[in-house]
Amino acid sequence: MKQARPISAADAAALVRSGDWLDYGATFNQPDLFDTALAARKAELRHIGIRSALATRPRAILETDPAGEHFFWFSWHMGGYDRRKHDAGISHYIPCNLGEIPDYYRRFIDPVDVVVIKTRPMDESGHFNFSANHLWYRAIIERAKTVIVETSTSMPHVFGEQNSLHRGEVDYVITGDNAPMPQLPNPPPTDIDRTVARLIANEIEDGSCLQIGIGGMPNAVCSLLQESGVRDLGVHTEMMTDGIADLYRAGRISGSAKQLYPGKIVYTFALGSQALYDTLDCNPDFHMLPIEYVNLPDIIMRNDRVVAINNTTQLDLQGQAASESDGHRHISGSGGQAQFVRGAYASKDGKSFICLSSTYEKGGVRKSRIVLDLTLGNIVTTTRSDMMYVVTEYGITNLKGKSVPERAKALIALAHPDFRDQLAREARENRLIPRHYV
């Protein structure tokens, strides 16, 4: 049986050998003292692979190894820091549906040599709470040869299921530095965000069960719902956001109409402001569950009136959404978008919304996000067959049941007026719209 023995960060880092695979977990569960101590051993080590997701602070192992000669960083989902390291050629994406990751660890990935995850300090019952991230941690720990926790009192204590480690599962404990929690900035919504959000909010009914993705538009929906008359909303979402916490504090979320965990706000990880973390701390209304439960479509669909709201960055005229890359430059990841799109559609009276602004600027030139063909190298996140509602500032359309010509015409109507004639011409030239089709 494991002993949960105290250890210094330096001694913990000394356990790592060249060729090892490590796992750092995700967001604010990534270790800091251990990371710094491991970076100090750079000259002694070769071919260290580290799996991670959404780094929220600079990683010492990458900052001290800018050429990527010693440490290889692999991400299940990229944030801004991971993206910058990807641009530098030292961070690499792992394609996935986020809700399937536990299965990858259990079936396809060799046992991890060392997993190091930041947790709350051990409580009176001998458990180390994961705080507001559950994700795929249990699956890693089941398969890890050495389990190390780095503790922090700054993280909120959250309630849920399987969201802690017992001391009998832990080899070593590093007493952490209790640094403040990293926060995800929430820029105010733009006028376009509000216009898109208003169209979506009009489709949301009393008792709907929300999934809110990351970004300004989905969070703007939450702001508008506070101003609307909608009541008794439920939440079953991958990411707990500030927008959802605002709705909760405004009294719009009761969960009374949910079939799964009625009265509970279900999520698998949180990232946002300190106000969000304070809302989650020791709050029994919020219930954190493993990602294989939260994200699988056959689970999502068991709630009625599921409403999934997610962003994309580019959409072609057949309805394919590219939400994670700009050509061969990786931006974020598939996340749970495709899983929630499918789960929401399969839900009784469910709705899935993919939202985007009609244009963006690149190099001082305005470009359309709705295009004939996706940018070369762009990754399709949501397929045309899965696409339901599409929303821009120019309107909303449901693509389910529409033919290719009908889709093309509907999406052209959602494009910026400056690009509609060109898109219509391209659609006809490439036989998406028949010559004499009205």
Q: Where are the alpha helices (DSSP H) in 311-390?
A: 337-346
Q: How many domains does the chain have?
A: 2
Which of 117, 144, 175 is a domain's end point?
Answer: 175
By residue range, what is the domain housing residue 54? 5-175
With contact defined as beta carbons under 8 Å apart, do 238 and 267 qualify? yes
Which residues partner with 234 through β-bridges? 209
Give the CATH number of the domain where residue 48 resides. Answer: 3.40.1080.10
Say if residue 198 is in the same domain as residue 170.
Answer: no
The single residue of 150, 169, 238, 393 carrying the catalytic annotation is 238
209 in a structural domain? yes
User: Does residue 160 share a domain with residue 202?
Assistant: no
152 and 202 assigned to the same domain? no
Is residue 391 assigned to a domain?
yes
Mapping DSSP to helix (H, G, I), strand (E, B) and coil, where does residue 255 land? coil
Q: How many CB atoms lie within 10 A of CB 59?
A: 25
Q: Is residue 260 part of a domain?
A: yes
Phi-psi region of 132 (alpha: psi -120 to 50; beta: other; left: phi over 0): alpha
pLDDT of 226 reads 87
Strands (E), 27-176: 48-53, 71-75, 91-93, 114-119, 127-129, 146-151, 164-166, 172-175
Residues 71 and 213 in one domain: no
Does a structural domain hold residue 184?
A: no
**CATH number for 327:** 3.40.1080.20
pLDDT at 438: 65
Shared domain for 162 and 197, answered yes or no, is no
Shared-domain flag, residues 58 and 163: yes
Q: Give me the pLDDT at residue 185, please.
A: 84
Range 204-208, long-range pairs (CB < 8 A, 24+ positions): 204/228, 204/230, 204/233, 204/307, 205/230, 205/305, 206/230, 206/231, 206/232, 206/233, 206/257, 207/231, 207/232, 207/233, 207/234, 207/256, 207/257, 207/304, 207/305, 208/233, 208/234, 208/305, 208/306, 208/307
Query: Within this chain, do residues 208 and 245 fall inside the same structural domain, yes or no?
Result: yes
Determine the pLDDT at residue 354. Answer: 97
Per the structure block, which two tokens stand in for 318?
């057949």
Same structural domain, 290 and 376: yes
The answer on 277 and 195 residing in a single domain is yes
- Identify whether 436 is part of a domain: no
Q: Say whether both 239 and 306 belong to one domain.
A: yes
Query: Domain boundary residue among 140, 175, 210?
Result: 175
Tell the burial category of 177 from Cβ atoms under 10 Å away from its Cβ (0-12, 13-18, 19+): middle
Residue 434 lies in a domain: no
The Cα 243–Cα 410 span in angstroms is 30
d(C-alpha 283, C-alpha 287), whole Å: 9
Confidence at residue 229, expressed as pLDDT on a 0 to 100 scale: 82
Clarify whether 238 is annotated catalytic: yes
Same domain, 244 and 373: yes
User: Is 435 a domain residue?
Assistant: no
β-sheet bridge partners, residue 6: 173
Q: Could you tell me if 144 and 225 lie in one domain?
A: no
Is 313 a member of any domain? yes
pLDDT tens across the length of the chain (438 residues): 788 999 999 999 999 999 999 999 999 999 999 999 999 999 999 999 999 999 999 999 999 999 999 999 999 999 999 999 999 999 999 999 999 999 999 999 999 999 999 999 999 999 999 999 999 999 999 999 999 999 999 999 999 999 999 999 999 999 999 999 999 888 888 999 999 999 999 999 999 999 998 878 888 889 889 888 899 999 999 999 999 999 999 999 999 999 999 999 999 999 999 999 999 999 999 999 999 999 999 999 999 999 999 999 999 999 999 999 999 999 999 999 999 999 999 999 999 999 999 999 988 999 999 999 999 999 999 999 999 999 999 999 999 999 999 999 999 999 999 999 999 999 999 999 998 776
Q: How many CA atoms lie within 13 A of 367 on its CB side?
A: 14
Beta bridge partners of 232: none
